[in-house]
Structure 1
């Protein structure tokens, strides 16, 4: 399987790349700054890593990179408390490139809270502090749902560094009643698992321990 990972230099994106290589996949890492991609090639697995430098806001560059791929993983995000529409604009470019080259499968990392589904004080604070970012992810999610592609949206609660467990709670509606956090390694595990599991096609899933 050939996978292209957008946002590959971010902490979740690097986990996706590393695990995909361990699984023997051919991985294209699409990054603005290749020097930020700090991947130690795994000792197991025979995957191949290809690095493409580009900006996901450039539709032509995105389209060229998607050509010939089997599936797409988006770990795109913005820094800080962005007030723009950067995420949804980049996602629109991904959708257009996939439609042009008939690549159907995409896994997308958003965030819990895009549907205002987090209850109580935690949900209130999320909307207060991250309202613009969550709204941008929601626009991207809505675009994916209308795209005709085979999409899966991962909605992790609080992200943290930590080991890969391979076990976590999932909720298609609302959020899991768990610990309210999950490691980036397990979010990556979920994304790669869903690419080959039709159960998750056209599903938005919240993740937590």
Structure 2
């Protein structure tokens, strides 16, 4: 049975991996929602793309109508985006939402890495926590994803931890491709990890801080 899937923020660096994985699936009818089509990988621009604003209720409703699952990979004013997205999905009766957030929003990252993460992302974490609370306070069948520090490694290698089960966050890094693969696993099994917030990291990457090159790639001083 074909699933209608909408990716909001489809030109994000995580979402573009998911775009390609889902376009290869003949059982998926994919719609990509972007603010700027020029930022999409050129091989995606001739597919089903809607140009719109994730803070516009009207734009969101056009894109969400008739969808089975919505995946949002957003940045910027995520609190307003979360409010508008929840309202649009409620109005149109679409229940399944996958939402990308950040590690550390619940102060769930233990030890020295948790301390470093909080120092590196102070205001960012509160904003993403506020957006996550809007999602979790809704009646949607959501999964909130909290990735470790991101890499562009061309690999799929991940493990997950559950906020509902009080599992402490584990590793320090994860590839964007791995996060996308986890998103696709949720789309393939929509009943998995419903109404939970899931940490995603690379097995064996535990430590007091991400590797030097990972910190630099994310714009942080490795000596901080």
Equivalent positions of 1:4-83 (< 5 A) are: 4-24=6-26, 25-40=28-43, 49-78=47-76
- What is the CA distance between 1:194 and its match in structure 2? 1.4
Is it true that 1:191 corresponds to 2:183 in the alignment? yes
| CA distances 1:118-157 after superposition (whole Å, capped 9, x unpaired) | 1223222222221221111111111111110100011110
Equivalent positions of 1:12-161 (< 5 A) are: 12-24=14-26, 25-40=28-43, 49-78=47-76, 86-161=77-152
| CA distances 1:66-93 after superposition (whole Å, capped 9, x unpaired) | 1111110011013xxxxxxx10110111
Is it true that 1:169 corresponds to 2:128 in the alignment? no
- What is the CA distance between 1:193 and its match in structure 2? 0.9
Q: 1:2: which partner in 2? A: 4
Structure 2: distance between partners of 1:30 and 1:3: 11
Instruction: Return 5+ residue gaps in structure 2 as ranges.
Output: 203-224
- What is the CA distance between 1:39 and its match in structure 2? 4.9
Quick check: which has more Rg, 1 or 2?
2
Instruction: Return 5+ residue gaps in structure 1 as ranges.
Output: 42-47, 79-85
Structure 2: distance between partners of 1:107 and 1:5: 9
Is it true that 1:204 corresponds to 2:194 in the alignment? no
- What is the CA distance between 1:201 and its match in structure 2? 0.6
Structure 2: distance between partners of 1:115 and 1:19: 30
After the TM superposition, list the runs of 4 or more consecutive aligned residues in structure 1 that deviate by more than 4 angstroms.
Answer: none
How many residues are treated as equivalent by the alignment?
A: 193
- What is the CA distance between 1:164 and its match in structure 2? 3.5
1:26·1:49 contact (CA, 8 Å) conserved in 2?
no
RMSD: 1.6
- What is the CA distance between 1:197 and its match in structure 2? 4.0
Q: Normalising by structure 2, what TM-score?
A: 0.81
